[in-house]
């Protein structure tokens, strides 16, 4: 019998277990993102303005919103992504985090710094770390980096951060999910033609440069519906799938749900292993009225959206293990050496630096 060598694939016990916990039983991902605090501030401020209240949401209002979103929507996902300040421990401690759903926790702040000469640089949450995320029992660490391949200094700093987090995740043997975002250059808007033309190339080049450092890669849609013709979008998705060195999922970026559904359909047909979507499912929650009305909207419209995408993923997505050339039946042929545990921790720490050193640093 041929045995699967998980170590050769970089899948240590913690990472392998993490993949199992954030995927469904078929090996695909329908994951829910609830970590967008900056966007939530904007949406809640708008809702409060309708009530003639000119203020930011309070800590308690944030916690209530995250609790409602998690309690109602997370049971319909394979995993849920939360933040430390308002969601991760709060939903677990109050019993709102459902059993049998994977827990991902983000490492970065929502905001980024922008320097005209450098680009966008990720800031990590104060007094928060990979070790703490592992310690609280989460299944995966998520890091977001803004990445523009033509910004050389930003590329250097952002890649250094990614590699640092990669080493920490190996040291603590926890799954590493990396999210990347392109961004407009100085003088551009997200709707500028120059940015829309450049975005697909940036998305593909970034995946080629950074996806090798993580365990699951969260990618933007490589193009724009209504701007790029379908044939071009198809070619872009094929290039993105070839550029991704690890299993990858599609983010939603606040896209209106019908457009996100279309993006998901196309991405799944070209190799995506699932989704990690947020606002496209639930952003209207904040304009739905009272707390009771908001929860009613989540329990009807938002759940239907999530279930619709979940069915698509289940029917069309490529299971994560197929990216390693495996079938589900192959997992009965995993050979675990006798006394594997004797060198387990030491081997993980030694492999962290040597593995990273072998990786190419070419942005292309």
| Predicted pLDDT of residue 334 | 80
| Predicted pLDDT of residue 299 | 98
Answer whether residue 113 shows pLDDT above 90.
Answer: no
- Fill in the DSSP letter of residue 228: B
* pLDDT higher at 137 or 354: 137
Q: Confidence band (pLDDT; 50, 70, 90) for 348?
A: low
Average pLDDT on 26-54 reads: 94
What would the pLDDT profile of 150-199 be if each residue is shown by its tens digit? Answer: 888 899 999 999 999 999 999 999 999 999 999 998 889 999 999 999 99
| Predicted pLDDT of residue 172 | 96
SS3 146: strand
Give the whole-angstrom CA distance, residue 68 versus residue 303: 12
| Predicted pLDDT of residue 347 | 56
| Predicted pLDDT of residue 349 | 53
Which residues, at least 6 apart from 92, have a Cβ–Cβ distance to it below 8 Å?
Answer: 103
Q: Quick one: CATH architecture of 13-328?
A: Alpha-Beta Barrel (3.20)
* pLDDT higher at 342 or 179: 179
| Predicted pLDDT of residue 337 | 80
Answer whether residue 200 shows pLDDT above 60.
Answer: yes
Average pLDDT on 243-253 reads: 97
Average pLDDT on 210-223 reads: 98
| Predicted pLDDT of residue 354 | 41
| Predicted pLDDT of residue 2 | 56
The fraction of the chain above a pLDDT of 70, given in percent, is 92
**Would you say 267 and 234 are in contact if contact means Cβ atoms under 8 Å apart?**
no
| Predicted pLDDT of residue 342 | 84
303-320 burial code (b ≥16 CB/10 A, e <16): bebbeebbebbeeebbbb
One-character DSSP codes across 306-346: HHHHHHHHHHHPPPGGGGGT--GGGGGGB---TTGGGGHHH
The fraction of the chain above a pLDDT of 90, given in percent, is 79
Contacts 24+ apart (CB under 8 A), 88-92: 88/136, 88/138, 89/136, 90/63, 90/66, 91/66, 91/67
Average pLDDT on 39-48 reads: 92
Q: Confidence band (pLDDT; 50, 70, 90) for 118?
A: confident
Q: Is the pTM of this model over 0.85?
A: yes
Q: Calculate the CA dihedral of residues 70, 73, 76, 82 and round it to 10 degrees.
A: -40
Least confident of 185-194, 207-216, 224-233, 268-277: 185-194
Half-sphere exposure of 326 (CA within 13 A, CB side): 20
Q: For the chain, what are the domain ranges?
A: 13-328
What percent of the chain is helix, strand and coil (3-state, nearest 5)? Answer: 50, 15, 35
What would the pLDDT profile of 224-238 be if each residue is shown by its tens digit? Answer: 999 999 999 999 999
What would the pLDDT profile of 300-318 be if each residue is shown by its tens digit? Answer: 999 999 999 999 999 999 9
One-character DSSP codes across 131-142: HHHHHTT-SEEE
Average pLDDT on 202-225 reads: 98
| Predicted pLDDT of residue 344 | 83
Least confident of 76-85, 148-157, 216-225, 331-340: 331-340
Q: Confidence band (pLDDT; 50, 70, 90) for 110?
A: confident
């Amino acid at each position: 019998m041929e045995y699967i060598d998980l170590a050769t694939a970089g899948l240590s016990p913690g990472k392998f277990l993490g993949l199992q916990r954030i995927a469904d039983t078929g090996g695909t991902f329908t994951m829910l993102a609830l970590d967008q605090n900056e966007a939530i501030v904007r949406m809640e401020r708008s809702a409060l303005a309708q009530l003639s209240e000119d203020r930011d949401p309070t800590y308690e209002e944030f916690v209530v919103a995250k609790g409602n979103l998690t309690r109602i929507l997370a049971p319909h996902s394979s995993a849920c992504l939360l933040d430390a300040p308002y969601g991760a421990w709060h939903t677990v401690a109050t019993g709102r985090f459902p059993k049998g759903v994977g827990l991902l926790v983000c490492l970065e702040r929502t905001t980024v710094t922008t320097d005209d000469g450098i680009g966008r640089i990720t800031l990590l949450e104060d007094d928060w770390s990979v070790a703490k995320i592992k310690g609280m029992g989460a299944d995966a660490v998520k890091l977001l980096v803004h990445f523009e391949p033509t910004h050389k200094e930003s590329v250097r700093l952002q890649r250094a951060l990614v590699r640092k987090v990669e080493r920490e995740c190996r040291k603590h043997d926890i799954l590493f999910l990396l999210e990347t975002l392109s961004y407009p250059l100085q003088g551009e808007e997200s709707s500028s033609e120059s940015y829309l033309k450049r975005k697909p190339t940036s998305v593909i080049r970034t995946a080629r440069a950074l996806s090798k450092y993580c365990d699951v890669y969260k990618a933007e849609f490589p193009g724009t519906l209504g701007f790029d013709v379908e044939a071009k979008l198809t070619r872009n998705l094929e290039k993105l799938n070839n550029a991704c060195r690890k299993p990858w999922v599609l983010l939603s970026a606040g896209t209106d749900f019908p457009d996100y559904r279309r993006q998901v359909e196309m991405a799944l047909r070209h190799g995506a292993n699932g989704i990690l979507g947020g606002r496209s499912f639930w952003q209207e929650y904040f304009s739905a009225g009272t707390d009771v009305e908001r929860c009613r909207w989540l329990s009807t419209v938002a759940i239907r959206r999530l279930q619709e995408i979940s069915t698509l993923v289940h029917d069309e997505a490529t299971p994560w293990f197929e990216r390693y050339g495996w079938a589900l039946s192959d997992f009965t042929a995993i050979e675990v050496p006798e006394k594997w545990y004797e060198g387990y921790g030491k081997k993980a720490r030694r492999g962290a630096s040597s593995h990273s050193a072998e990786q190419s640093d070419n942005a292309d």
